[in-house]
């Protein structure tokens, strides 16, 4: 008995740390589970709050542009030269007062059907800063075909100061840079139809979208000095006032002198400015596809002939 008691005490001391460790291991999963439940509850609450805030925040544009019919659309698209000339006229008489095209040269206008003399005369209507001269000073001169369309403002700061704090964007690539994302499944069909006219569609919708009454929920978001336009991609209103009105530009070819027609013409012209070789690219791609189909057929026929006598 005297020997048994010390043995039991020794066994108890040996197993006590192990029992304590097991107790802690049993408590930790419970604590981790409780922490996980609290974290999940917090995430659910945050998601609900985000959904509530998401529902209250309007998505821009408030209206999606209508998909229009363009001569340069589709795999066989081509430029309507008459429309491009009208668009150039609208740009020169209306848009060029605020927007430049610093990446488009006057010499490129021969793609619009103008002769060399007409391009020279058109370029000479603009004043271009050149230099320095022999005295180290900059000077002004008439434009020549190798010059680029000048900006109406000397720098972006001056442009912003003259336009209610918002510098007008350059028109060179605007038709490719501005587009409304088309959601699922529309963008899948766009792969087959080769839809690339989102920029012109947006420009036309923006120019024709003025004059509408804003919804009651959106009206408080419109800042003073801005103009409501449901097609604007960055907000409910923009600093640019309605830029054009009916009969503002005279068309010598008898085309309708309406805001809708002006918007179509200048949007097509801006698409040409952004991608002047679009028609050539589509024609080259079509020829390449025909070549690949014929080449694949020839490969199949040659393969059948070469391996015809080989047992399988």
| Closest C-alpha among 162, 167, 159, 172 to residue 100 | 172
Distances from the Cα of 119 to the Cα of 74, 99, 110, angstroms: 30, 20, 7
In the annotated binding site for heme c, the residues are 95, 98-99, 240
C-alpha angle 102/103/105, rounded to 5°? 95
Q: Rounded to whole angstroms, how far apart are CA atoms 108 and 234? A: 32
Q: Is 249 helix (H, G, I), strand (E, B) or coil?
A: coil
Say if residue 275 is preceded by a cis peptide, omega within 30 of 0.
no
Contact by Cβ (8 Å): 152, 170? no
Q: Which helix (H) or strand (E) holds 88?
A: helix 81-93
Query: Residues for the chain: how many in total?
Result: 312
Contact by Cβ (8 Å): 170, 151? yes
127, β-bridge pairs? 142
In the annotated binding site, the residues are 95, 98-99, 240
Q: Rounded to whole angstroms, how far apart are CA atoms 115 and 22? A: 93
| Closest C-alpha among 203, 229, 234 to residue 214 | 229
| Closest C-alpha among 271, 277, 278, 265 to residue 85 | 265
């Amino acid at each position: 008995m005297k020997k048994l008691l010390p043995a039991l005490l020794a066994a108890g001391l040996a197993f006590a740390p192990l029992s304590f460790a097991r107790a802690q291991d049993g408590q930790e999963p419970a604590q981790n589970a409780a922490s996980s439940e609290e974290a999940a509850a917090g995430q659910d609450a945050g998601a609900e709050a985000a959904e509530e805030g998401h529902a209250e925040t309007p998505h821009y544009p408030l209206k999606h542009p209508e998909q229009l019919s363009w001569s340069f659309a589709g795999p066989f698209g081509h430029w309507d030269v008459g429309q491009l000339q009208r668009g150039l006229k609208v740009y020169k008489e209306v848009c060029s007062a605020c927007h430049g095209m610093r990446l488009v040269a006057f010499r490129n206008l021969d793609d619009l059907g103008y002769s060399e003399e007409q391009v020279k005369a058109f370029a000479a209507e603009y004043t271009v800063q050149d230099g320095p001269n022999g005295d180290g000073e900059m000077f002004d001169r008439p434009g020549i075909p190798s010059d680029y369309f000048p900006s109406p403002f000397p720098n972006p700061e001056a442009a912003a100061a003259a336009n209610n704090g918002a510098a007008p964007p350059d028109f060179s690539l605007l038709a490719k840079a501005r587009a409304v994302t088309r959601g699922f499944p529309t963008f899948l069909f766009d792969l087959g139809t080769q839809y690339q006219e989102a920029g012109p569609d947006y420009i036309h919708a923006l120019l024709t979208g003025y004059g509408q009454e804003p919804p009651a929920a959106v009206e408080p978001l419109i800042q003073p000095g801005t103009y409501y336009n449901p097609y604007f991609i960055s907000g409910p209103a923009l600093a640019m006032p309605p830029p054009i009105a009916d009969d503002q530009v005279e068309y010598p070819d008898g085309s309708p002198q309406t805001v809708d027609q002006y918007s179509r013409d200048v949007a097509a012209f801006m698409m040409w400015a952004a991608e002047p070789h679009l028609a050539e690219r589509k024609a080259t791609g079509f020829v390449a596809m025909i070549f690949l189909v014929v080449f694949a057929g020839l490969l199949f026929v040659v393969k059948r002939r070469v391996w015809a006598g080989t047992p399988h």
